[in-house]
Each structure stands twice: as C-alpha cells, then as structure tokens.
Amino acid sequence: MNKPAPDRIPLIRLSGVSYRYPGADTNVIDNLDFQLYPGDRTGVMAPNGSGKTTLFYLLMGLLKPSDGLIEIFGKPAETEKDFEQIRRRIGLLFQDADDQLFSPTVLEDVAFGPLNLGKNQEEARDIAMKTLNELGLDGYENKITFKLSGGEKRLVSLATVLAMEPDVLLLDEPSTGLDEKTKARLVNVLLNLDLSYILISHETSFLYDLTDSVYTMRQGKMKRAEKIHVHPHVHPHTSHIRHHH
Amino acid sequence: MIQETFAIGDSIIHRLDPRVRVVFATLFSFLVALSDRFPTLYAAFGISVLMIIPARLDIREAGKRLKTLFWFMLLIWMVLPLTFEGDTIYRLGVFAVKRQGLVLCAQITLKAVSILLIFMALLSTMNINTLGHTLNRLSVPGKLVHLFLITYRYIFVIEEEYRRLRTAIKIRGFKSGTNLHSYKTHAYLLGMLFVRASIRAERVHEAMLCRGFHGRFYSLDGYKPSRKNRNFSIIMTAAIACLTFIEYYPI
Ligand SMILES: Nc1ncnc2c1ncn2[C@@H]1O[C@H](COP(=O)(O)OP(=O)(O)OP(=O)(O)O)[C@@H](O)[C@H]1O
Ligand SMILES: [Mg+2]
C-alpha cells in the first residue's frame, strides 16, 4: 500500500530491537525491525502473548530494550528525557482501561494530559469538552470514572489520549467490549483523524476497515501479513457479494 | 480507578479555597497531636465532629473509615494499659491495669479520631490533583508532594485490588472458617494483594507518564476568592487560638 519514499523520515523506526522480561528465558521481542511512516495506518493481529503490548510499552519508553535501536521522530529514543518529549506526541491507549483512568471525574481525567502539556485551566477544559463531544460522550464530563461501564471506560480512555492531540496513536485493542454501534462510532472517529497509528486488534473486519497494512507477530518479529486484498474501508465479508472482479 | 468518594460534592467546605483548608487542617492536626490536656482534646474532638456537618459527608462512608481506626485503637486499648509503667488501679489475675496506660489510650484515641475527622472534612473533600496542586502552590518541596500523593494514591489501589480479589473468591463459594483451606486462601489473598497492587500502581504511574506527567500537579477546579474563605479562616483561627489557650493556660 503505502510504499515509503526513501526520503521520507519514519515516525517510528525499530532496528534489531530485542526485549526480554527479567527472569524470562526467551526474548518476547527478538531482533525486530519495523517502520511507521507519516500517514501510515498499520494493523497488528497476532496471537495472545506474542508481544504486542510489550512492543507498545517499548515505544513509549515504559520498558527499555535489551538490544537494538528505537528511533522516533527521526531521533534515537534512549533516555527517559527523550521519552518525556515523545510521550507528548504519541498517545497510548492501554489494553486495560482500568489502567488508564485515575482521576475521580471524567472531565478531570481527560484534562489531565492537556494540563501537563502546559494548557491553562480554561483551555484544558475546552479541549476536554470538545474531545468528549467528538466521541459522543456529551454529558459524561461529571461522571465518576470508576462507575462507568467497561465500554464507556474504553471510550473515555480514548478521549484522554486524543485530548493530547498526538501525532501518533498506539491503540491496544480499542474495540474490545464495545457494542456494534459504539464500534461504528469509533471507526468513524479514527477514520476522520488526520494522524498515523498502529492498531492492535483481534477483529478482522475492524482491523481491515481502519488500516492499510496488517502485520502479524511471530517469534518476537513482525511480519507483513499477506492480507486477503479488500478495498480499503469495505467489510471483507460483504465485499464478495457486492463486488465482481 | 481511585475512589475519592468525598471529593465529589458541593458543600460550603468543598467550595473553600484548598489552600485555606490545607493550612488549617495542618495547624489543627499539629496542635491536637501536641496537646495532652483533656479539656483541649475534648474541645478539639468537638470541633472536628462539627466540621463534618458543613462538609456534608456521607455518614455511613465516614463511619466505615472510622471503623478501620477502631480496630487499631482496640489493639492499643488491649496492650497499653497492661504494659505501661504506673499505678495499678485494677488487677486481673496476673495482669495489672495501669492508670497512666488508660490515660494515654484515651489521649491517643481522642487525638486520632479528631485528626481523622478534620482530614475527612477538610482534605478528603478535594481530589488528589487539587491537593497536589495546592501543596505545590504552598511551596512544599516537589519531591515531598510527589511522595505523599503517590502514597495516598496507592492506598486506594490496594483497597481496590482487595475488593476485586475478595469478589473473585466469593463468587466461587468461599466461606471463611477455621480450617487449613481458609488459612491458605487468606494467605494467598494477602500475597496476591501486594503483588497485584504494586503492579497496578506501577501501571497507573505509567499511564500518568504517558500523558505527559512530569512531577507537577495541575488542578481544573477554579476557586474564586470569596468572603467564605475569610470567614472560615477567622473561625478556624479563633478555634485554634482557643485550643492553644486551653492547653497552655489552664484555669
Ligand atoms: N510483566 C511481565 N513479566 C514477565 N513476563 C511478562 C510480563 N508481561 C508480559 N509478559 C509475557 O510476555 C509475553 C508477551 O506479553 P504481551 O502482553 O506483550 O502479549 P500480547 O501480544 O499483548 O497478548 P494479548 O493479545 O493477550 O494482549 C507473554 O508471554 C507474557 O507472559
Ligand atoms: Mg496485549
């Protein structure tokens, strides 16, 4: 799909990156190479325990690689200082929404990021309200985060990430636990965003709606999956009915 | 997921400037902790009970928090009167109940309950970001604020994990009894609690880092300067002055 022109600088470049959890006897991530270019919408679909979440933690600097080089926005990302800057521009949606929300009210949680980015109260509040509105969460601002349903928590988590207006999104199974209608809304929001992302999902149609290329992970490496070609943004299981090739 | 039940509300206390609340809660606690005379302690206890009313705390929730303290106090009441040096006022077989021990117990109990109540009324009625932000603005060193807030936050994390684990055990039909299976289950529960709480606490911290947290807390709550702050300050200053007077100038 997105053939990278040689002169374009990748947003994310991993070269020979390995990671092993302390005490484990194999590398979860093993000599992995990967690039994400501006405008790329990359999907990852791989079995449980293959290291997808670990990969995201490496990209956010929450784990440090045992080997290899991570370059983000054209610069090597090694120290905590590097990652402090990176985290302002890359948004991670945690796999478990309970990990993501920690303020008592929705509004406060969504405004937490913008406030850290140096926005004043007024601006942070506006951004938070706007983001909630875009996600169809009007009227949620004063709800209490720990009393939300699983799906609501997920959407609010996404709002907390989007409120930071990142350049890159890392989405760890965002569609889990969402009903069809909410999922459709999520697809719409993501399609209308003008940013690059890596999307982890186990749902074929969701993934194919939202991404241009799909990778799988095996033995700690990422492999481009030969995707059963579909026209982008068309449900694969309906395409064979409507299309005649 | 941190429960701050009291932080959500719209009472007079909730609307006070957090700085005023922090300053007076601190002053009050120090004074109470340093006082020894019973008239002072009774008065302090009375003031802290009265504070609960304007804060409109959920009485049942407040009771639950006091209950935790109650068990700790019970322990003190069982140990101190018997082990303290002093005049024996009652003999129970080999045990001698000492007057000074009882007095000390009463003092500790009054102090602990008063301080807990004043903290509930004045401090737990603001959320954690506001508290951190306020401490920052009162020029408490950043590292200290961070340490304090993170500790505070993890207490809730542990509580949350405890509730989850207990539910997990309950739905599988566990009933506590006096048998090996029960003891083993309790031991597992405790072990898992600390492991899981520390992992979760780490995740929460990571989630904060991922959203640009760099050691400073910001608050969304706008507190407008109002006459209430002045009035509250006057009342509290008067109360603290009275307590000091009672303590140091006995009639
Ligand atoms: N904190 C940890 N300590 C040790 N091993 C871990 C830790 N976290 C994950 N692992 C191991 O690393 C491997 C990859 O975990 P990871 O969470 O990255 O998988 P995943 O691809 O995200 O799986 P899923 O689809 O289930 O979310 C797993 O085998 C897991 O057991
Ligand atoms: Mg995962």
Q: Whose CA is nearest to atom 26 of ligand 1?
A: A48
Mean pLDDT, residues B110-116 taken together: 93
Predicted confidence at residue A41, as pLDDT, reads 94
Helix and strand counts by DSSP (H, E) for chain A:
9, 10
Q: Which of A100, A104, A107 sits opposite B207 (nearest CB)?
A: A100
Distance B182 CA to ligand 2 centre (A): 34
Are B236 and B28 a contacting pair, CB within 8 Å?
A: yes
Residue nearest to atom 3 of ligand 1 (CA): A21
List of residues 6+ apart from B248 with CB closer than 8 A = none
H-helix or E-strand containing A87? helix A80-87
Most distant pair of Cα atoms in chain A: their distance: 56
Q: How many CB atoms lie within 10 A of CB B59?
A: 9
Number of C-beta neighbours around residue A94 at 10 A: 24
> Is B235 strand, coil or helix?
helix
Please say if the pLDDT value at position A29 is more than 70. yes
Can you tell me which atom of ligand 1 is nearest the CA of A217?
A: 21
Crossing angle for the helix pair B128-137 and B18-34, nearest 10 degrees?
80
pLDDT of residue A234: 45
Contact with chain B for residue A42, Cβ under 8 A? no
Q: What per-residue confidence (pLDDT) applies to A242?
A: 42
Q: Quick one: pLDDT at residue B131?
A: 83
* Cα distances (Å, whole numbers) of residue B129 to A117, A128, A228: 15, 16, 49
User: Quick one: pLDDT band at residue B205, thresholds 50, 70, 90?
Assistant: confident
Residue B160, pLDDT above cutoff 80: no
Nearest chain A residue to B203 by CA distance is: A99
Mean pLDDT of the residues in chain A: 87
The pLDDT of A3-15, averaged and rounded, is 79
Distances (CA, A) of A192 to A56, A80, A134: 23, 32, 11
**Distance in Å, alpha carbon of B46 to nearest chain A alpha carbon:** 31
Q: pLDDT-derived band of residue A77, with 50, 70 and 90 as boundaries?
A: very high
CB contact (8 A) between residue B212 and residue A117? yes
Query: B152 to chain A, minimum CA–CA distance in Å?
Result: 13
Averaged pLDDT, A208-226: 91
CA distances from residue A65 to A50, A180, B238 in whole angstroms, order as listed: 16, 38, 60
Give the whole-angstrom CA distance, residue B99 versus residue A102: 48
Spatial distance between the Cα atoms of A113 and A94, rounded to a whole number of angstroms: 15
Distance, CA of A150 to CA of A204 (rounded, Å)? 22
Which of A84, A108, A117 lies nearest to residue B220, judging by beta carbons?
A108
Q: What per-residue confidence (pLDDT) applies to A171?
A: 96
| Residues of B whose CB is below 8 A from A104 | 2-4, 7-8, 127-128
Q: What is the mean pLDDT of residues B30-54?
A: 92
Phi, psi of B127 (to 5 degrees): -85, 170
Determine the 3-state secondary structure of A220 from DSSP.
coil
pLDDT value for B96: 84
Residue among A65, A157, A124, A125 nearest B204 (CA): A157
Helix (H, G, I), strand (E, B) or coil at A182: helix
Residue A3 has pLDDT above 60, yes or no: no
What mean pLDDT is predicted for residues B43-62?
89
Look at residue B145 in the predicted model and tell me its pLDDT.
79
Residues 117-146 of B with CB under 8 A from A: 127-129
Q: In this structure, which amino acid lies at residue A218? A: R
Chain A interface mutation, best of B152, B157, B199, B220, highest count of A Cβ atoms under 10 Å = B220
Say what the pLDDT of residue A19 is: 96
Instruction: Say if residue A17's pLDDT is above 80.
Output: yes
Residue predicted with more confidence, B5 or B51? B51
Q: What percent of chain A has pLDDT over 70?
A: 89
Q: Mark A190-199 as b/e (b = at least 16 C-beta within 10 Å).
A: beeeebbbbb
Residue A5: pLDDT band (50, 70, 90) is low
Q: Does A60 touch chain B (CB under 8 A)?
A: yes
Residue numbers in A near B200 (CB within 8 A): 98-99
pLDDT of residue A206: 92
pLDDT in tens, A32-55: 999 999 999 999 999 999 999 999
Q: Which of B3, B212, B218 sits opposite A87 (nearest CB)?
A: B212
> What's the pLDDT at B219?
73
Structure confidence at residue B222 (pLDDT): 67
Q: Which two tokens stand for residue B172?
A: 């599988």
CA A41 – ligand 2 centroid, Å: 19
Lowest mean pLDDT among A83-87, A132-136, B166-170: B166-170
Across B3-11, average pLDDT: 73
Token pair in block for residue B167: 């539910």
Of A40-44, B58-62, B145-149, B235-239, the one with minimum mean pLDDT is: B145-149
Four-CA torsion B172, B176, B179, B184, nearest 10 degrees: 60
Rounded to the nearest angstrom, the minimum Cα separation between A232 and chain B is 31
Token pair of B116 as six digits: 């807990």
B-chain residue closest to A163, CA distance? B211
Protein residues whose CB sits closer than 6 Å to any atom of ligand 1: A 21, 24, 28, 46, 48-54, 95
Q: Is it the case that residue A101 has pLDDT exceeding 90?
A: no
- The mean pLDDT value for B136-150 works out to 79
Residue A235: pLDDT above 90?
Answer: no
Residue A66 has pLDDT above 60, yes or no: yes
Mean of pLDDT values over A109-131:
92
Question: In this structure, which ligand is nearest to the CA of A93?
Answer: 2
| pLDDT, mean of residues B222-231 | 80
Average pLDDT on A154-164 reads 93
B201 — pLDDT class (breaks 50, 70, 90): confident
Query: How far apart are the C-alpha atoms of A155 and B234, rounded to whole Å?
Result: 46
Residue that is written with structure tokens 């374009």 in the block: A8
**What is the average pLDDT score of chain B?**
84
Percent of chain B at pLDDT exceeding 90: 24
Q: What's the gap in Å between A173 CA and the centre of ligand 2?
A: 8
Q: Which residue has the higher pLDDT, B201 or B52?
A: B52
Answer yes or no: is pLDDT of A229 > 80: no
